[in-house]
Amino acid sequence: MKLITIEDDVLTEEQIARVDGIKRPSFPWYSDDHTDFPGDGNPQFTHLFYQNIQFQQSNYLELLYPLLGKIRPFAILKIKANLNLATSKESIFHIDYGEVEDRVYPEMKSLVKTSIFYLDDDLGGTEFESGEFVETKRNRLVTFPSGMKHRSVKHTQEGARRFVVNFNYIPFMSEQNAPSEATI
């Protein structure tokens, strides 16, 4: 069974134009002093769209409706966008939603998925501890079990910005049980 799935051309041009709203100059980004762990010395900008542990929901969540319509999650745990500037500093292998370990029944941990949506071409990628590598490609969605350690491979292209959206969620157990579109 393949653990990592890659889907290209996930959204139509109209749909991706909506998601591209996060690239507008007026979109609110927040500075984090870390990428993977507090104190890692690898800053980035983030926008938290949704988190269920301490319920938070962004006023901009509707920009992601086309993606949620493709993913069709049973339960959303967290949705966060990352904006990375050029750097030669490496990220650390991690799992995105480690806090889930302490908050769900052990049987549920294996159900949690991570999906990463890329909004740019040729700006780094995602490397897995297993050695597999997924190149950044606009309109690409990569999905894998949340327990798989991975890291962002940063880009070094001066002046470029790398935009990704991370989804942590529990999927429906089968496609036939999933609705044809996501609802929030």
Share of the chain above pLDDT 90, in %: 51
* Amino acid 63: pLDDT: 96
Query: How many angstroms separate the CA atoms of 6 and 13, rounded?
Result: 19
* Amino acid 101: pLDDT: 54
Query: Tens digit of pLDDT for each residue in 146-180?
Result: 889 999 887 777 778 899 999 999 998 655 555 55
- Looking only at the bridges linking them, the beta strands covering 44-51 and 140-145 are unpaired
Query: How many angstroms separate the CA atoms of 85 and 34, rounded?
Result: 13
State whether residue 88 is helix, strand or coil: coil
Confirm if 8 and 139 have CB atoms less than 8 A apart. yes
Collect the ranges in the chain with pLDDT lower than 50. none
How many CB atoms neighbour CB 1 within 10 A? 2
* Amino acid 179: pLDDT: 57
* Amino acid 153: pLDDT: 87
Give 131's contacts (C-beta < 8 A, 6+ positions apart). none
Amino acid at 44: Q
